[in-house]
Structure 1
Amino acid sequence: MQHDRHEERTPVELEVAYEEPGRQRFFPALNLSASGIFLAAEESPELGQEVRVVLSLPPNGIFLRIQGQVVRHAGGSEPHGFAVAFEAVDERTRSDLKEFVRECRSS
């Protein structure tokens, strides 16, 4: 499964709720863009798994719940974890994400 990264990413330190059918878990996010997020985890869900991530963007606590799909696993010399590509993100949410990434990169 190939996923194109087409949005600017930034390193982040956020705790993210990760929801899959039947359960919710919490993972630290290592980077974020308007099109996806990378979560640190020793065990990763299956590639292609449909999920929802729930996060609060500082400093204003903008609350976002975003549908996505697991598109990549990482490990070895990279931090262990998995990438989620956001799907069907509305314009308001995309704008909030882009603004947050811009603020992180400028600070």
Structure 2
Amino acid sequence: MKLLGYGISLDKCASCGRKFDYSWTNHRFSFDLGGLCCDRCNIFGVELSSDSAELLFLLSSNKRRKNQNVNNLSEISNIIKTFTLFTLGQKVKSLELLKKL
């Protein structure tokens, strides 16, 4: 997506630019803005668990976390699929292929 010019803001708030911080008390993903939104910005978006928001942040920084919760991975997968569909206007067949691997 990034190579196509549709980068996702995962290391900072997509609204105000505030850097991701573990002290954020509320986490939302805005499809309109294309990324995470902090607790200071009252942006409409999908509410995420703290763990899922942290995993998205770690993905953006190429870091890993041990003991990832399956529910969080499912939540993140749904966010990425929905964002891709929202942005491109169609399903991406390669996502289904990756899922089968």
Larger helix proportion, structure 1 or 2?
Answer: 2
Larger strand proportion, structure 1 or 2?
Answer: 1
Q: Highest relative contact order (Cα 8 Å, sep 6+), 1 or 2?
A: 1
Q: TM-score range by the shorter chain?
A: 0.3 to 0.5
TM-score (norm 2): 0.37
TM-score (norm 1): 0.35
